[in-house]
Amino acid sequence: MDGARLTRRGVLAAGLAVGTASLLPGPERADRFVRTGAEGPPLTEGAPAPYIVNCPSWGARRPSSPVKIWDRRPIRILVHHTATPNVGDQSRGAGDRLARAIQNYHMNHNGWLDSGQHFTISRGGVVLEGRSLSLGVLNEGRRQVEGAHCTGQNVVAIGIENEGTYTGVDPTPALWNSLRATCAYICSRYGIAPTELYGHRDYKNTACPGDRLYRMLPRLRAEVGATLGRRVSRTEAEKASWPLLRLGDSGPDVTAAQYLLRDAGATTTEPTGRFDEGTADAVRTFQVAHRAEDVNGILGGESWPELARTVSRGPGRNGGDAWRAVDTLAEHRRVESVPDRVTAPTWQRLLGTGGTAVRPVTDPPGTARR
């Protein structure tokens, strides 16, 4: 059912969990491998376990403090890219070195207790455990290791770091195949729907996981669904999101954002439709005012929901700039029937990203930032 098989290295992904737990500290030890989801919803779908290199096998350091485990299942998966060079070395050794480099960076530079992500996938398609205990806990399928890959999503979402920079190129076939297999396995262990795969930018003001990989997410949802024997329709595969806007962008979406920034009091400048330094400054002003985690002038999934406020037809506040944004987008995308009260789903439709709604679930209180 769980499909764990002997790989050419002769190790079961499931079996690795025990070794991992016995070597590492933690408030609770993942010292049991439970083959079925004994509590909670039944695991109706099965996907074979990919070969996942556990922490001891890639030479992980011990976490600087105990890894926290929550007695709950994650409900989605977040896809990241490492924003590192698109290296040609696709060997297992390169995967191990990548995992060590990320862990060192997260512990030494960021000051985190361990790697932030739950899993890592190299350009060669090597899948590695990220934060300690993540693999054993995944195999159990009942609990979740608290990660540090996206504030607000560290408990409710599994974070996968994909090696490379996918702003202008697609990932390697090896990486893609491993990403699909890993997502399918995670979905089957936790009972996560294949449509619940997202990009970091859906929640934060970041370009991660790169424009190309981000645009491949509907395909990933469909392929993960197929792996699980579940058909994912085109409508289901497209999720409602927000357009990532940053320096150099232009067009009606930028004009609308500029109207909204003026509506919010972040600027007094007349909209130009060009995202220039002044627009980036206005975004930063807005981000500071809204206590955004990343004050970087990039308009993404963290700031959009606050910027695209609920607005009613009419002059409104600030001379009606918010409704001007509505008009700009409605005209551009030829949206005929705009309701008198525009809320987030309508904004997303006007911005051209309207798909299936995203459940606004975030981490429980007590989750660490990052």
- Contact footprint for Zn ion (CB under 5 A): 80, 200, 208
φ, ψ dihedrals at 161, nearest 5° = -95, 125
Smallest distance from Zn ion to CB 242, Å: 16
Smallest distance from Zn ion to CB 286, Å: 21
Output the 3-class SS for 178-213. Answer: HHHHHHHHHHHHHCCCCCCEEEHHHCCCCCCCCHHH
Tell me the CA distances in angstroms from 272 to 247, 253, 255, 276, one per residue in order. 13, 11, 6, 9
Question: What is the C-alpha to C-alpha distance for residues 337 and 366, in angstroms, rounded to an integer?
Answer: 43
Smallest distance from Zn ion to CB 153, Å: 10
Closer residue to Zn ion in complex, CB, 123/200? 200
Smallest distance from Zn ion to CB 128, Å: 17
- Cβ atoms of residues 69 and 133 within 8 Å: yes
Closer residue to Zn ion in complex, CB, 20/134? 134
* Backbone conformation region of residue 7, classed left if phi is above 0, alpha if psi is from -120 to 50, else beta: beta
Closer residue to Zn ion in complex, CB, 157/325? 157
Smallest distance from Zn ion to CB 80, Å: 3
Closer residue to Zn ion in complex, CB, 204/262? 204
Alpha-helical runs (H) found in 115-273: 134-140, 173-190, 211-215, 217-227, 234-237, 252-263
Smallest distance from Zn ion to CB 362, Å: 16
H/E element, 329: helix 321-332
Handedness of CA 199, 137, 121, 8 (dihedral sign): negative
Smallest distance from Zn ion to CB 206, Å: 6
Closer residue to Zn ion in complex, CB, 190/203? 203
* Cβ partners under 8 Å of residue 13, min gap 6: 4, 7, 49, 50, 51, 52, 135, 139
Closer residue to Zn ion in complex, CB, 138/208? 208
Question: What is the C-alpha to C-alpha distance for residues 14 and 251, in angstroms, rounded to an integer?
Answer: 50
Smallest distance from Zn ion to CB 77, Å: 12
Smallest distance from Zn ion to CB 32, Å: 31
Tell me the CA distances in angstroms from 81 to 169, 262, 282, 334, 339, one per residue in order. 12, 33, 27, 35, 38
Closer residue to Zn ion in complex, CB, 111/315? 111
Closer residue to Zn ion in complex, CB, 208/257? 208
- Cβ atoms of residues 30 and 167 within 8 Å: no
* Backbone conformation region of residue 34, classed left if phi is above 0, alpha if psi is from -120 to 50, else beta: beta
Closer residue to Zn ion in complex, CB, 80/246? 80
